[in-house]
Each structure stands twice: as structure tokens, then as C-alpha cells.
Structure 1
Amino acid sequence: MSKLTALQIKSLTNQAPKKYADGGGLYFCVRKSGVPYWMLRYSSQGKRHEVTLGRYPQMSLASAREEAVMTKQGLRTGTDPIREKAKLALPELNTVEELFQDWFDNDLSRRLKYPQIPERIYRKEIHPLIGNHPIADVTPRDVRAVLQKLHGSNRPTIANDTLMYMKQLFRHGIKLDLCQSNPASPFTVNDAGGEETSRERTLSLDELQHAFQVFQENISSFGRDNYLACCLFLVLGVRKSELCEAQWREFDLETGVWRLSKERSKTGAAITIPLPTQAIEWLQILHGHACGSPYVFPARRASKRPHMGPDTLNRAISKLFGREAGRKVQPPNKMGDLEHFTVHDLRRTFRSLAAAEGVPGHVAERCLNHKLKGVEGIYDRYDYFEERKQAHQQVAGLIDSIVCF
């Protein structure tokens, strides 16, 4: 088989579509429409493959032959040209920040219902220390530095989540062949926040009396919206995100119901929440405070979120206990000997108060928007609306004199 010449190649561009062999697996390909190109045919693992080397006339005959020789040399050392070409098509990722953004765009945002949770942890805990590091340069010592910074913050859950997300992040880097090993894999929860125990904190009526009295005495700094949010958490027993991100369109204050959609419900099922009379009054006050915002608790400062942040209320409560993150000099403890509590503890307290009022367990569980377990959950589709309405009103009546605003 005679080899092609440069003059022949030039004349072939006007011929009918065909592949013209130059020898050694190299072909000059003329298409019916489009630019002619060079193609190399080769065998790998018992199968025949074809890979495009370049377009004509940008790649000359001499350049095509040289590229074909180099490609075949790579094959002998185990380099697959198709796989290498696929790598070149990937976006250039150099730093940990660029790796995280690719992970967020192509995995987290598609897989998770709330991808902003790992994003927030990355931005606050991981990026400040290693975000600008080249991916392949991150070592276990860098991972340890991130974890050590968290040791003194008394946030074991955040520390464990940070380690978990670092492991997942660098596992994504391994998938993209951007690093050969995972620098976070040698670490366990004992190196981060330790084994976590579930909280069982509930507040007694005396503790609630003390806490809300301190809220009222410091209302100018604690905030009226924060105060009313605590009241609502206590009588509704809802989750933090469900109330902090609530919009006015979900409420019908005339009939006294809150329709929580399945998209916003953690269980993935919609639920209609009955509002006790006190909650309706508090929401009417908040409607005036919202100044036309579609959110019940609009953001009061410049923020990416249009509503109250997930940590806002817990930070305000902790400040009254003399704890404020990021400050060397802590504020005075105005709560005295009262044990520290969080927003979620108010939800747990609602459950305890409901039990004290004689509310049946299955009704209280539905008040918390928990799915009923076992056979009962399979066959019992009744929503207990009237029973839940009575339960919420009983709890509201029990703490009415404590939280009167």
C-alpha cells in the first residue's frame, strides 16, 4: 500500500466521503459536510478503536504521522488515547476550592435535598485553611489542622460533619484522577468531635419561666422576632428549618392552619398544622414586623438567604448564656445557673409538655410531624387533625402565662 502525499491530500478534500489509508492505522477522512480530519485505528484489550487526531488543514500530513507514532508509543506503555482525550475534555481543576465547586455542581446539588448544609460547613470550616491549596498537595497534616481548629469550639457534631465532608470531597477528587489518595481517610470521629450522644434536654415549667423572663429583660438585644420564634417553637413543636424558612402563603390565619408542603417537610410528606389561638396572635404581630416580606422571619442583615439563618436563634440564645462564637471576650452570662438549651430542645420540650397534659403518644408524634412506626405507620393513615389541634392548644394554654408578650 502506497502512502499518501501532501498533493493527494489536497485533492482528496473535494472527493466523495471516504476514508483513505496512509498505513499503520492512520486514515485521512473526508466527510459529506464538515472539515476533513485525521483518524487513527488501533486495537486495545482485543477490541478495535478509533480516535480522532486532528482536523485538516490545521494538522498537516507530516504532523498527523508524527501524532500517530506518538499515540502508538503511548499504547505500548498502557496509555489509552480515548481515555486521555476524555480527561482533556474535563474542566481544569487545580485547587481544593475548584474541586469543591465541581463536587457541588455535579453531585451535591443533584443528590441532596439540602446541599447548602455541606456547602456551609465547607465555607466556614474547610475553605479558610485549605481552600486555596493545590488538590494533590493536601496532606493528612492539613486535614488535622482543620480538625484541631474545631477542637476548642465545643461543636462535636460540626467537627464530625467536617471530617465526613472532607472524606467525601477528596473521594470525588480520586474519581476525577486529581489525587491518588484521600488525605482525610486515616482520621476517625475520635480525631474530630468524638462519639456523639443524643441530647435529651427538656425544660421544666420553672426553667421556661426563668428563660423567658431573661428573654423579656433583654428584649432590645435578644429581639422581638427571636422571642416570638421561641414561643412558636414551644407550642408547635416544628423543626428549625420549617419555621425559619416559612412563608406567609403557607398560613391561613383566619382558619388557623399552616400548610407545610412536602417539599419543605423533612419527612417528604405534606402536613396541615393546626395553630392554637396564641400562635395566631403571635403570627399577626410578626406579619406587621415583616414589612411586606414573603417570609415570616425575613433576614434582618445583608445575607444570601432572604429568611432567618439556621444559626441565628441559637446564637442569640447562647449569647445570653455568655457564649458568643468568634469573640475572645465573652458576654456576661444572664441565664445564671440554668443549663444551656437550643431551639431543638424547645421542640423536645413541646413533646414532654404534651405528654404531661395526657396527649396520647401517637398524637404527639404526629404533632412533631414524625411518621408513625411499624404496623401502625403502615395501616394508620388518619391524620389526627382535631386531636393535634387540641394538643397544641393544651400546651399553649399551659405556658400562656410564662410567655405572655
Structure 2
Amino acid sequence: MPNLTVKQVNTLAKGQHSKTSDGNGLSFVVPKRGEPYWSLRYTFNEKRREKSLGKFGQLTLAEARGEAETIRAMLREGIDPLSLSSLSKHSGMTFNELFQDMYENKLLKRLKRPDIPKSKYDNNVAKFIGHLKVEQVNAFHIRDILNIIADSGRTTVANDVLDLLKNLFKHAIQLNITLNNPASAFSYKDAGGHESSRERVLTIDEVEQAFSVFRKYPESFTRDNYLACCLLVVLGVRKSELIQAPWHEFDLDNAVWHLPKERTKKNFRAIKIPLPPLAVGWLRELKVRSHGSNYVFPARRKSTRPYMGPDTINSAINSLFGIDKSKKVQPPNRMGDLEHFRVHDLRRTFRSTAAGMKFQDDHLERCLNHQISKLDEIYNKHDFFEERKIIHMKVSEKLSYFL
């Protein structure tokens, strides 16, 4: 027999903190703070649990008993109502909403460059499955997305997108949105395949040929792109370190670039980069071309970022090789028989050119701001600034005839 009456409930609701049983786990709770509510205690998998059913005034005594009986029926079927309510709360979440949740709660907090996975999602995933509910996405969708990317020749991107999809479903499982990860059965063999380290280095003759084509087609390869490539092959820095550089890092009068730790790869180490006269001249030209911008390479189009896009130079290089993924009809190949290269290969070309001049390896590794070993970082604090100054000077002199 029920223990409570409507009159008793109304009286309890006006009283002090209490928890009164109605029988079979159902209770009327008057908290110290907040509004009175109905609560049901039950056992699931030998664990005691408690679920709030609704507030007083929104749920009558009869309705609370009916809700409690519905939950008891779920328990008899082996269903935990707490898990079910969490799942149903997010059951309508779309894949775009799932990515946004992971972006805000994980990527922004953990990654130095959260814009990279966001760009990969926006460009390769959103248009195919972003509108679907999470539980509607299946292995066929995953396979089709990976095939489209791989068929376009972007094998590295295919592998990156596979990793991103796996992490998105892991995030969904953590939030109890789904119990399945349809991306987990796929490997790199199903995406872009095994990635081998690039070894492309341009010879002196290839540098001459490439930069000659750059100059010949300024409508395809802008002056900003050209000067960026000149600086990259003479300084050996990473592309992102250069194209995202603000002017306040440069002391052109003293020919030094102060690259802070937070803008290096993995926040590794701040470094002072000596600038040869040729590089100072290019930077002074860029200062004029930047028209008062805070950045050396300001964004030329409307963008959320104030500096040049990460794919701008590579896209321009690809276009000169007759490669444009955005067009059905490909542009003509202006590079002739020159082997394809990417902008990062210019950094490797700097290293190879300097090595050919018989400079010491540890000095060259400092030019690249590489970590040689943990012991080296502990005991060798010398940054070899003067030695690096000579290296950059000699490399710039050797390549100046072709740049």
C-alpha cells in the first residue's frame, strides 16, 4: 500500500528538509536548497542508484508513481534508466555537433594548432556526413570518405582524416551518445597507406629552374609567395614559423629574428636566427608590401586568420606543376620535367646545400632548431649563433644567383 497522500505531499513541500518514502524506492525529497522533487532508488548490476523523476508542481503523486513503475519495467528488461536518459539526451546530435563539442572541449585545450584538424574536418568530412545523426553514420560512410580523399592523391590527408574519425567516435562513446565506432575497423591500408618520410632535396640546378618558373608566372605565383620561398631556402625555418610571423619578432637593423618558444614545433626552444643581408632586403620589401599589417605575410583574402593560409604556397606550387584539385580541367605544367616538390622540401634543400659546404652537423642542426638528443639539451646550451650566421651567409651567397 502507498504510504503518502496528496495532502501529506503538499504539507511536506512546505516544510523543512526531509526525505519521505512512498514505498518501493519512490521518495518525496525536500532539499535544504532548491525545490522539492521526486526520487527513485533502485539496484542495477548489484549497485544502488538514484534517479530524479521531476520537481514538485511538475509531477503529481500519481504521475510520480506511474513514472516509477515505468522505470521498474525497464529494470526487469535489463535496462539502466540512467544510461538511457543520458543516451536519449544526445540521440539527436549530428556529426557536425559532435565535432564542435570535441573541438571546444578537447582540441582547443590540448592542441597548439586546433585549426588543422578543424580544416581537415570542414574540407573532407562535414559535407558528406555532417548533417547526419551520429548513430546514422556507418562503415560505408567511412569507407567512401577515405576513398574520395585517397583517389585525389592526398594519401597523408586520408590517414589524418581516419585518425580524426576514430577520435570523434571515441568522443561520442565517452559521452554515451553511441556504443559503436565504425571507423575502428579501418587501418592506414584502407586510407592512404603507409607513409614514408620524404627525402626530396632540390639540386642547385633544380633551384635555378624552379625559381625561374616562379618569376616567369607572377600571375600564378605572387611576389609574396616568391619571397617566402626565398626566405625558406636561405633560412631553413619551418613554413608555419615564417608565414605566421609577426613583425615584432624581427630586428632588421641588427639582422636578427627572435623566434619565441611558443611558435616553434612542440614549443621546443626559442631561437635567435641570424639574417644574411639578402634576407634583410627581402624582409624590408615585405614590410612595404604588408601595408602596415602586424604580420610579415598578411592574409590577402577575407579570412578568420590574419596571416597567409597554410596551403597557399603549396597550392601555388602545385598549380605550376599542372595540379589543381579544385578544377576538373587541370592547368598546364609550367615546370617541365622537374620532379614535383613541396614547400617543406626547401627546408631540406637548405640543410643539404649547407652540408655540401662541409659545415659541422651540430651547427646545421641548430640552424634547423632540431633536438639532437636529451643529453645534448642538458649539457650543450651553446646556440652557435656566430657559426649559424656564417652558414646562412654562405648559403645565401651560393643561391643568390638563382633567387
**Distance in 2 between the 1:178 and 1:14 partners?**
39
Residues 14-163 of structure 1: pairs in structure 2 closer than 5 A:
14-87=14-87, 91=90, 93-163=92-162
Q: Closer, same or farther in 2 for the Cα pair 1:267/1:28, shift >3 Å?
A: closer
Please say if residues 93 and 99 of structure 1, whose CA atoms lie closer than 8 Å, have aligned partners that are also in contact.
Answer: no
Q: Secondary structure of 1:230's partner?
A: helix
Cα shift readout 1:154-179 (whole Å, capped 9, x = no counterpart): 22111221222222222322333333
Q: Unpaired segments of 5 or more residues in structure 2?
A: none
Which amino acid letter does the alignment assign opposite residue 398 of structure 1?
Answer: K
**Distance in 2 between the 1:15 and 1:141 partners?**
59
Q: Structure 1 residue 384 and structure 2 residue 384: aligned?
A: yes
Q: Structure 1 residue 295 and structure 2 residue 298: aligned?
A: no
Counterpart of 1:260 in structure 2 is 259
Counterpart of 1:369 in structure 2 is 369
How far apart are 1:288 and its partner, in Å? 0.6
Counterpart of 1:333 in structure 2 is 333
How far apart are 1:95 and its partner, in Å? 2.1
Counterpart of 2:166 in structure 1 is 167
**Distance in 2 between the 1:34 and 1:270 partners?**
53
Cα shift readout 1:287-312 (whole Å, capped 9, x = no counterpart): 11011111110111122222111110
Cα shift readout 1:137-170 (whole Å, capped 9, x = no counterpart): 2222222211221233222111221222222222
Deviates more, 1:147-156 or 1:274-283: 147-156
Q: Secondary structure of 1:51's partner?
A: strand
Which amino acid letter does the alignment assign opposite residue 305 of structure 1?
Answer: R
Which amino acid letter does the alignment assign opposite residue 158 of structure 1?
Answer: V
Q: Secondary structure of 1:263's partner?
A: helix
Q: May I ask how many residue pairs the two structures share in their alignment?
A: 402
Counterpart of 2:191 in structure 1 is 192
Q: Closer, same or farther in 2 for the Cα pair 1:27/1:247, shift >3 Å?
A: same
Deviates more, 1:227-236 or 1:206-215: 206-215
Which amino acid letter does the alignment assign opposite residue 3 of structure 2?
Answer: K
Counterpart of 1:10 in structure 2 is 10
Please say if residues 258 and 274 of structure 1, whose CA atoms lie closer than 8 Å, have aligned partners that are also in contact.
Answer: yes
Q: Secondary structure of 1:325's partner?
A: coil
**Distance in 1 between the 2:354 and 2:330 partners?**
36
**Distance in 2 between the 1:2 and 1:231 partners?**
85
Q: Secondary structure of 1:178's partner?
A: coil
Cα shift readout 1:186-232 (whole Å, capped 9, x = no counterpart): 32222222222211111111111111111112224311111100100
Counterpart of 1:244 in structure 2 is 243
Which amino acid letter does the alignment assign opposite residue 145 of structure 1?
Answer: D
Residues 209-358 of structure 1: pairs in structure 2 closer than 5 A:
209-268=208-267, 269-358=269-358
Please say if residues 267 and 370 of structure 1, whose CA atoms lie closer than 8 Å, have aligned partners that are also in contact.
Answer: no
**Distance in 1 between the 2:105 and 2:378 partners?**
36
Please say if residues 91 and 177 of structure 2, whose CA atoms lie closer than 8 Å, have aligned partners that are also in contact.
Answer: no
**Distance in 1 between the 2:92 and 2:382 partners?**
52
How far apart are 1:22 and its partner, in Å? 2.0
Cα shift readout 1:317-376 (whole Å, capped 9, x = no counterpart): 111112122212222222111111111110000001111122210111111111122533
**Distance in 2 between the 1:267 and 1:47 partners?**
45
Q: Closer, same or farther in 2 for the Cα pair 1:173/1:323, shift >3 Å?
A: same
Q: Secondary structure of 1:219's partner?
A: coil
Please say if residues 41 and 48 of structure 2, whose CA atoms lie closer than 8 Å, have aligned partners that are also in contact.
Answer: yes
Q: Secondary structure of 1:199's partner?
A: coil
Deviates more, 1:169-178 or 1:217-226: 169-178
**Distance in 2 between the 1:187 and 1:83 partners?**
28
The alignment's TM-score, normalised by the length of structure 1, stands at 0.93
**Distance in 2 between the 1:157 and 1:226 partners?**
24
Deviates more, 1:255-264 or 1:234-243: 255-264
**Distance in 1 between the 2:352 and 2:270 partners?**
24
Please say if residues 86 and 176 of structure 2, whose CA atoms lie closer than 8 Å, have aligned partners that are also in contact.
Answer: no
Q: Secondary structure of 1:183's partner?
A: coil
**Distance in 1 between the 2:147 and 2:82 partners?**
43
**Distance in 2 between the 1:179 and 1:3 partners?**
40
Please say if residues 220 and 319 of structure 2, whose CA atoms lie closer than 8 Å, have aligned partners that are also in contact.
Answer: no
**Distance in 2 between the 1:211 and 1:29 partners?**
78
Counterpart of 1:182 in structure 2 is 181
How far apart are 1:47 and its partner, in Å? 4.4
Counterpart of 2:394 in structure 1 is 394
Cα shift readout 1:218-272 (whole Å, capped 9, x = no counterpart): 2243111111001000111011111111111111111111111221110412212
**Distance in 2 between the 1:19 and 1:152 partners?**
64
Q: Closer, same or farther in 2 for the Cα pair 1:30/1:281, shift >3 Å?
A: same
Q: Secondary structure of 1:401's partner?
A: coil
Q: Secondary structure of 2:27's partner?
A: strand
Which amino acid letter does the alignment assign opposite residue 205 of structure 1?
Answer: I
**Distance in 2 between the 1:196 and 1:42 partners?**
53
Please say if residues 234 and 350 of structure 1, whose CA atoms lie closer than 8 Å, have aligned partners that are also in contact.
Answer: yes
Deviates more, 1:360-369 or 1:191-200: 191-200
Please say if residues 274 and 389 of structure 2, whose CA atoms lie closer than 8 Å, have aligned partners that are also in contact.
Answer: yes
Please say if residues 220 and 320 of structure 2, whose CA atoms lie closer than 8 Å, have aligned partners that are also in contact.
Answer: no
RMSD over aligned Cα, in angstroms?
2.0
**Distance in 2 between the 1:368 and 1:387 partners?**
13
Deviates more, 1:72-81 or 1:225-234: 72-81
Which amino acid letter does the alignment assign opposite residue 78 of structure 2?
Answer: G
Q: Secondary structure of 2:262's partner?
A: coil
